[in-house]
Amino acid sequence: MIERTSENNVVNGNVIPVTLDANFFFERAVRSLDRFQYDKALKNFRKAVEYEPENPVNHCNMAGILSEMGKYEDSNDILTHVLDEIDPTMTECHFYMANNYANMENFEEAERSLVTYLQEDASGEFLAESEELMELLQYELNRPAPLVRIRSREGVVEHDRARSLLEEGKFPQAVKLLEEIVQNIPDFLAAHNNLALAYFYMGRFAKAKECLGEVLKQDPGNLHALCNMAIFLQYAGDQDQLAGLVRMLEATVPFHQEHVFKMATTMGILGKHQTAYGHFRRLLKDEEVGGDAGLYHYCAAAASNSGLHTEAIRCWQMASRLDPESAVPKFFLSQMQLAQSEGRPLPPVSYNYQLPFQEQLKQWKNNTDSFTEEVQNNPLLRASFFWALRYGDASTKLQVTEALRWIEDDEISDVLKGVSEQEPLQEAALLSLQRLIGGSPEESVVQRAVQEPVVSSHKGPPEWKEDWQRIIDHMAAVMDRRLDAAQKRDAELLWKQFIARLYPDVPLFRHAEGWCAALEYLTAKLHGHPVTYREAAQHYGVSVSMVSRYARRIHQACGLMQDGAAADILPPFTENI
């Protein structure tokens, strides 16, 4: 018979001390948890808190049990008490609270707590779990989280922003941000590499090489820096240094997917197409990226430029099957077959996954002389224009006829005369012919930019809904002081074209201000006005990421061809983490 007292046990006259402290009740709570006895576990954790009220771990254990029992509000009350009264540095409490809020379907508060955790936690203990929760919240809220930085991965968020700026062609902004990163984190080599690229794109070649020198000083085998240096040396015409570096790169077999792609694209730029082909072939065997039509085009371009015509045809055929809507593989297959029937090689093929004339259309308005010379001297480019006039959709034909009006060429004039007999291209072709003899009529920017003409066979919604009109009205009111009547008209035209493209699967537009900002941004770009996502976002009080995402959705749905950031993407040379 064992007689128990509050402080000790007595067995046969022998005293066995039992210390009733926080550890005693903690162990009992753990045993109860192992048996899924949550009520008993909670009772014992409460006793542990009574013995050590200033120990935040005891409180967090109690909050964890309450969360397991579905009492999320009670759990968050305890976690808030820990942060406010006991230990404000216990940042994991914010992560626990984010999970509780998510379970309560209070996604806004869950996002706030998760962002706070990522921005304040130095250890990154729950970083992987946070990424999963972030994906869930982005899906539920239909927008990315307003995350400025991740403290445990110092500089990573800022670096991602800088890479986006580079890809949008906003080089001064990217340089400013990257300079801050490398100053604060000198061993962040990816930021050094991308800063070198930003300097290079701005024409500051000495600074670009200086950045790469810093990277290679810290890591002599850094593949991104070596590839970038090779491109810089080729641009500078330094063949002596370039030859040795290229020999070393050709003998290198990268392992990581990103490094393989970097090497492949670099070899293509340097004209080492057979080496590029070998690396692209390796990427095609990677299950993660091997089903990408663009990658098959890169491989086909490398094969064609290497004289491996059978392999090029096979890759373009695969690209056509993977992306049946794209005209790119169909065009190059037709040109390859024509070249083979005439017993001649295909002219050099660009690695960009687009028709040759699409690359030039982005530049022709700013430099018509260079555009004219390129069309006259590049047979593949010239063929792509004629091919687009024959096989392209209505909007492509409209874009091509407008561009070709700048080329004073008998063959092109004959082609435009033939096109002028087609509907609905008659007006555009006649306008182009009029330009050749001195005319300069005007037309809507949106009519030129959207893939189909405004008057088209595309069936839109049978009735215009009030929610859709509200976005037009709100946008017109906000943009009243910045854009003129023609630009407002084009913004409304673009919105109606967007709705027509989505119909009948038009979603509920929950964030009207975001759609308004995206429309104003795209309209300004179409009219050649300098504008940034941030400026458009500030006008409507929304996030930059929301404007960017909505603008890209409109851009993709309507197929805009423009000179703005929504259409221009730099070659894939920037470095990830």
| pLDDT per residue as tens digits for the range 227-285 | 989 988 888 788 888 888 889 988 888 888 888 998 998 999 889 999 999 999 998 88
pLDDT at 185 over 90: no
Kindly report the number of other CB atoms within 10 A of residue 157's CB atom.
Answer: 16
Name, of 6-20, 216-230, 234-248, the range with top average pLDDT. Answer: 216-230
Task: Provide φ and ψ at 254, rounded to 5°.
Answer: -70, 155
Q: How many residues does the chain have?
A: 577
> Under 8 Å CB-to-CB from 376, ≥6 apart: which residues?
382, 407, 409
Give the distance from CA 1 to its chain's centroid. 73
pLDDT at 111 over 80: yes
User: Worst-scoring range by mean pLDDT, 88-102, 340-354, 490-504, 552-566?
Assistant: 552-566
pLDDT at 453 over 60: no
Span 466-558 CATH architecture: Orthogonal Bundle (1.10)
Query: 317 near 330, Cβ under 8 Å?
Result: no
Indicate the pLDDT class of residue 5, thresholds 50, 70 and 90. Answer: very low
In the prediction, which pLDDT does 50 show?
Answer: 76
Return d(Cα 83, Cα 89) in angstroms, integer: 7
Query: 26 near 59, Cβ under 8 Å?
Result: no
Amino acid at position 87, single letter: D
In the prediction, which pLDDT does 77 show?
Answer: 92
- Residue 377: closest CA among 351, 407, 334: 407
pTM of the model: 0.50
pLDDT at 436 over 90: no
In the prediction, which pLDDT does 302 show?
Answer: 94
Query: 356 near 350, Cβ under 8 Å?
Result: yes
What does the pLDDT average to over 469-489?
A: 77
pLDDT at 200 over 60: yes
DSSP run (H or E) holding 497: helix 485-502
Indicate the pLDDT class of residue 466, thresholds 50, 70 and 90. Answer: confident
Return d(Cα 331, Cα 321) in angstroms, integer: 14
- Residue 235: closest CA among 259, 261, 212: 212
Residue located via tokens 């990573």: 156
What does the pLDDT average to over 461-479?
A: 79
Indicate the pLDDT class of residue 375, thresholds 50, 70 and 90. Answer: low
In the prediction, which pLDDT does 486 show?
Answer: 73
**Dihedral over Cα of 301, 303, 306, 310: its sign:** negative
Is CATH 2.30.42.10 correct for 18-152? no
pLDDT at 357 over 70: no
Adjacency order of strands within the sheet including 14-17:
3-4, 8-11, 14-17
In the prediction, which pLDDT does 397 show?
Answer: 66
pLDDT digits (tens, 9 = 90+) for 555-566: 777 766 443 333
269 or 508, higher pLDDT: 269
pLDDT at 315 over 90: yes
Q: Report the 3 state secondary structure along 294-341.
A: HHHHHHHHHHHHCCCHHHHHHHHHHHHHHCCCCCHHHHHHHHHHHHHH
Query: 157 near 144, Cβ under 8 Å?
Result: no
pLDDT at 204 over 90: no
89 or 167, higher pLDDT: 89
134 or 369, higher pLDDT: 134
In the prediction, which pLDDT does 313 show?
Answer: 93
pLDDT digits (tens, 9 = 90+) for 130-145: 878 888 888 888 887 7
Give the CA angle between residues 333, 338, 344 to the nearest 5°. Answer: 115
**Mean pLDDT, rounded, of the chain:** 75
Return d(Cα 514, Cα 517) in angstroms, integer: 5
Return d(Cα 130, Cα 92) in angstroms, integer: 11
pLDDT above 70 covers what percent of the chain?
Answer: 70
What does the pLDDT average to over 11-39?
A: 65
Query: 79 near 96, Cβ under 8 Å?
Result: yes
Return d(Cα 394, Cα 2) in angstroms, integer: 94
Is CATH 1.10.10.10 correct for 154-252? no
User: Worst-scoring range by mean pLDDT, 78-87, 276-285, 535-544?
Assistant: 535-544
- The first and second tokens of residue 473, run together, are 């009205």
Give the CA angle between residues 350, 395, 427 to the nearest 5°. Answer: 125
In the prediction, which pLDDT does 541 show?
Answer: 83
User: Worst-scoring range by mean pLDDT, 25-34, 69-78, 307-316?
Assistant: 25-34
- The first and second tokens of residue 577, run together, are 């983490």
